[in-house]
């Protein structure tokens, strides 16, 4: 299979001026081993993978990006296109290969966006089986070359595939994360901010549970500029309808479908969502993000190993812990129902 790499000289027989261009200063020592290099691998250079790669690049989060995709020509085109923007970007080495996983060696973070596409008429379970087969082929290679990395799964169905990645990799659960409802929560915050005409960054609000249809909006978690919204409305005796809240959540859930219907796929928001997770993880920011984590033991979820989104504190080692956030009885019920649906599907995977 054709390999594509980044190159620092101008090709075969080309000039290599790197030794002649600069003269070393007196008494030079090799770079200190305390220098920290950050490296990210993105598997799947499609719409989502490339949006993640370009956001990570523009935000200057890493020294090296490795791209892996099964389509060598498309991949080489994407690599060259990004490299050609070097004059406008922070200095970052970009590597790409369709078959040589050695280029991913020493990654701190591996983001998996590769996924089979649903064939018209195909069942969700069949698609899942194909994605499990895909993960069986890529995860051992990735784990072999970066045994200390954090694995982040973006491919859908993200919660189940995060479990699959955890099982196949053998990594500890704090180093396997699904991008989960970080994106759903951003859509939620945008809608609330738009409604209240404030900056979405000043809106705290969490969507937890399964990414997508059965996600759970935590109404009591909403605060704007530190003011908890629901208790504020109640204190001021401002009436609000449950239905209005449900409508906002429905708009969050339908948001992805709407974008896919209009442009064919989603990319920019998930790109920013994953870049924000990458920043927290790689820079040890200890921020709290709703991401898919091993949820067994939380909120009475005890039927088996299941990954669902909960507000989790993230740092350089992966998941530091899960925030002890209060859920109403109904929210807990919904979370458990999602867990049971996921466990039922997982039991048919033979892992």
Ligand X SMILES: NC(=O)c1ccc[n+]([C@@H]2O[C@H](COP(=O)([O-])OP(=O)(O)OC[C@H]3O[C@@H](n4cnc5c(N)ncnc54)[C@H](O)[C@@H]3O)[C@@H](O)[C@H]2O)c1
Active site residues: 211
Give CA separation, 266 vs 52, 180, 291, 303, 316, in Å: 12, 15, 18, 33, 28
Kindly indicate which of the ranges 20-28, 152-160, 165-173, 196-204 contains the residues binding ligand X, using the contact rule CB under 6 A. 152-160
Residue 265 as a binder of ligand X (CB under 6 A): the answer is yes
Residues in Cβ contact with 119 at an 8 Å cutoff, skipping those fewer than 6 apart: 127
Residue from 40, 42, 45, 165 touching ligand X (CB under 6 A): that is: 45
What six digits make up the tokens of 130? Answer: 């194909």
CB 135, min distance to ligand X, A: 9
Q: Which residue is associated with the tokens 């990954």?
A: 307
Helix ranges (DSSP H) in 283-317: none
Residues in region 56-95 near ligand X by CB under 6 A: 68-71
> Where is 150: in which H helix or E strand?
strand 150-153
Residue whose Cβ sits closest to ligand X: 46
Contact 129, 349 (CB under 8 A): yes
Residue 142 as a binder of ligand X (CB under 6 A): the answer is no
CB 20, min distance to ligand X, A: 39
Given the complex with ligand X, which of 98 and 224 has the nearer CB atom?
Answer: 98
Given the complex with ligand X, which of 152 and 327 has the nearer CB atom?
Answer: 152
CB 79, min distance to ligand X, A: 13
> If we measure between CA atoms, which residue out of 232, 234, 224, 235 comes closest to residue 188?
224
Tally of residues, the chain: 351
Residue from 4, 40, 44, 177 touching ligand X (CB under 6 A): that is: 44
Kindly indicate which of the ranges 20-28, 45-53, 219-227, 282-290 contains the residues binding ligand X, using the contact rule CB under 6 A. 45-53
Given the complex with ligand X, which of 229 and 294 has the nearer CB atom?
Answer: 294
Residue 230 as a binder of ligand X (CB under 6 A): the answer is no
Given the complex with ligand X, which of 44 and 318 has the nearer CB atom?
Answer: 44
Given the complex with ligand X, which of 70 and 332 has the nearer CB atom?
Answer: 70
Return the number of other C-beta atoms located less than 10 Å from residue 112's C-beta: 27
Kindly indicate which of the ranges 111-119, 218-226, 300-308, 313-321 contains the residues binding ligand X, using the contact rule CB under 6 A. 111-119
Is the sign of the CA dihedral 57, 60, 65, 69 positive or negative?
A: negative
Given the complex with ligand X, which of 45 and 103 has the nearer CB atom?
Answer: 45
Please give the Cα distance from 341 to 155 (Å, whole number).
18
Residues in region 286-345 near ligand X by CB under 6 A: none
Residue 132 as a binder of ligand X (CB under 6 A): the answer is no
Residue 186 as a binder of ligand X (CB under 6 A): the answer is no
Return the number of other C-beta atoms located less than 10 Å from residue 6's C-beta: 18
Burial of 230 (0-12, 13-18, 19+ CB in 10 A): middle
Taking every pair of Cα atoms in the chain, the longest distance, rounded to a whole number of angstroms, is 78
Residue from 134, 275, 278, 281 touching ligand X (CB under 6 A): that is: 134
Residue from 4, 104, 108, 113 touching ligand X (CB under 6 A): that is: 113
Please give the Cα distance from 166 to 176 (Å, whole number).
6
92 SS3 class: coil
Please give the Cα distance from 218 to 205 (Å, whole number).
7
Interacting residue ranges for ligand X, rule: CB under 6 A: 43-49, 68-71, 113-115, 117, 134, 137-138, 154-156, 158, 179, 183, 211, 265-266, 270
């Amino acid at each position: 299979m054709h390999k594509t790499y980044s190159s620092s000289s101008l090709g075969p027989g080309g000039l290599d001026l790197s030794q002649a261009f600069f003269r070393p200063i007196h008494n030079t020592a090799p770079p200190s081993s305390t220098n920290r290099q950050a490296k990210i691998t993105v598997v799947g250079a499609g719409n989502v993978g490339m949006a993640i790669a370009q956001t990570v690049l523009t935000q200057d989060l890493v020294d090296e990006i490795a791209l892996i995709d099964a389509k060598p020509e498309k991949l080489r085109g994407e690599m060259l296109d990004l490299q050609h923007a070097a004059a406008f970007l922070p200095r970052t080495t970009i590597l790409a290969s369709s078959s040589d996983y050695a280029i991913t060696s020493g990654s701190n973070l591996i983001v998996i966006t590769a996924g089979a596409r649903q064939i018209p008429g195909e069942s969700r379970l069949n698609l899942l089986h194909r994605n499990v087969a895909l993960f069986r082929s890529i995860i051992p290679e990735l784990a072999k070359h970066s045994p200390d990395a954090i694995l982040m799964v973006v491919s859908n169905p993200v919660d189940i595939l995060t479990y699959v990645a955890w099982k196949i990799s053998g990594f500890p659960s704090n180093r396997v994360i699904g991008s989960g409802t970080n994106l759903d929560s951003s859509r939620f915050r945008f809608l609330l901010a738009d409604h209240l005409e404030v900056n979405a960054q000043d809106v705290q609000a969490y969507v937890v549970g399964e990414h997508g249809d059965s996600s759970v909006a935590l109404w009591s978690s909403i605060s704007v500029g530190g003011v908890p919204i629901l208790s504020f409305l109640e204190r001021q005796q401002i009436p609000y309808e449950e239905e209005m809240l449900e409508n906002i959540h429905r708009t969050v859930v339908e948001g992805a479908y709407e974008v896919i219907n209009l442009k064919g796929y989603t990319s920019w928001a998930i790109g920013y969502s994953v870049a924000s997770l990458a920043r927290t993880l790689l820079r040890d920011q200890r921020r709290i993000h709703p991401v898919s984590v091993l949820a067994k033991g939380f909120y009475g979820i005890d039927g088996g190993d299941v990954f669902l989104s909960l507000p989790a504190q993230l740092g350089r080692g992966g998941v530091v812990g899960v925030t002890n956030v209060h859920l109403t009885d109904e929210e807990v019920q919904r979370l458990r129902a999602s867990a049971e649906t996921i466990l039922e599907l997982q039991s048919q995977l033979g892992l």
